[in-house]
Amino acid sequence: MSFSQKYHQLPTFDKHAGEHESLQRKDPRKSLRRSPFLVIAIIMFLGVSIPCIRMARSRASLSACNSPQRNSSTLANLPSHYTLPSGDKIPSVALGVWQASQGEVGNAVKTALSAGYRHIDGAWIYRNEEEVGQALKASSVPREELWLTSKLWNTFHAPEDIEAALDESLTKLGTDYLDLYLIHWPVAFKEGTTVLDEDLTADPYPTWQKLEELVDRGKIRNIGISNFNIRRIQNLTANNLKYQPAVNQVELNFWNPQPELLQWSKENGLLLEAYSPLGSDKQVGKSLSVPEVKDIACKLGITPAQVIISWSVQRGTIVLPKSVTPSRIAENLAVFELPQEDFERLETAATSHSPQRVVNPSAGWKLPFDVFDGQ
């Protein structure tokens, strides 16, 4: 199976840089029991000093490199967009809002838009679309310059349920169309339950046909899939589809690089989107401490996070880093083309260990199969 049209990379335009280092904090409670005024003073001090310490540690890390440093301004930029089969241009780096809590996600979106992001990746199940929509409304960025993605949850796969679920997301986001709408998982539940709908799980074509209808009606511009393995993609595309999947959003990072899926997708013209590009929350620190990542960061004068995100875009994927920290949001948008030897070194390191998938809800959903079986 080969899709009739392939996506294309476009030149990069403006990018933005920043600082990114985690800070190990000691427990101050023992020294704070003496006076509430001391507590207040220390809190105020920390509020001012922590960003400075983080920046200083990041710069100290770079200055401690044993190899000559290269100025990041001399690095070539990577594609800022890909062109989908529809002709629409999707930004190569997005702000992911998965696990961004209420009260934080709105400020994260505002910060991202100010930093230059134009791609926001969300979903109905994230439970934060209303706050995202409020931040978008408060922004001066025109709707036509934004790329908004949402996802169809498992309980809405029945064709008669899809439009109402879509309309809920549209209302909360404050828009009358989505740039991209994905089937979130290749698993369908019966409405309002976690009981497996075996028919729609085995054959997602009726779901896809309804999505195609919504494209024709202008409520969605592009449709795609998420967490589909090769076998499940082939099962869907074996049907006579009017519109092929534009993207497949999957867990893709140093610990779970999925080279076979990446190669197959390129050969078949299917663009991959990488969620958790720095690893899951418990993996981020380990990702930024990978020796090859640190060495390349030192050599190029960029941060370890920028190395990993740049490597991901250079692999030909859209990258969805998530953060609510302003400096890190800005930093994650700055991607650079790694020298070929550094790119290959990191690719080799990533594909030389056993894959470590973190996101697999099969057991939690009590499925009688592994959702990634056969990948």
How far is residue 235's CA from residue 162's CA, in Å, rounded to a whole number? 21
**DSSP SS3 for 245:** coil
Length of the chain: 375
The C-alpha atoms of residue 323 and residue 264 are separated, in whole angstroms, by 30
Which residues are within 8 A (CB) of 279 and not within 5 positions of it... i.e. 6 or more apart? 253, 254, 255, 286, 287, 358
Give the type of residue at 185: W
Type of residue numbered 254: F
Angle (CA) 23-29-34 rounded to 5° is 135
The SS3 assignment for 361 reads coil
Are β-strands 89-91 and 95-96 bridged in parallel, bridged antiparallel, or unpaired? unpaired
Establish whether 126 is a catalytic residue: yes
Q: Read off the tokens for 267.
A: 């050969």
The catalytic residue among 7, 82, 117, 126 is: 126
Do 187 and 201 contact (CB within 8 A), yes or no?
A: yes
Say how far apart CA 159 and CA 214 lie, in whole Å: 11
Q: Which DSSP category does 68 fall into?
A: P
> Distance (Å, rounded) from C-alpha 334 to C-alpha 308?
11
Determine the Cα–Cα distance for residues 244 and 89; give it in Å rounded to an integer: 16
Do 354 and 259 meet the contact criterion of CB atoms below 8 Å apart? no
Helix axis angle, 105-115 to 129-138, nearest 10°: 40
CA pair distance 159, 197, nearest whole angstrom: 13
So which residues are the catalytic ones? 126
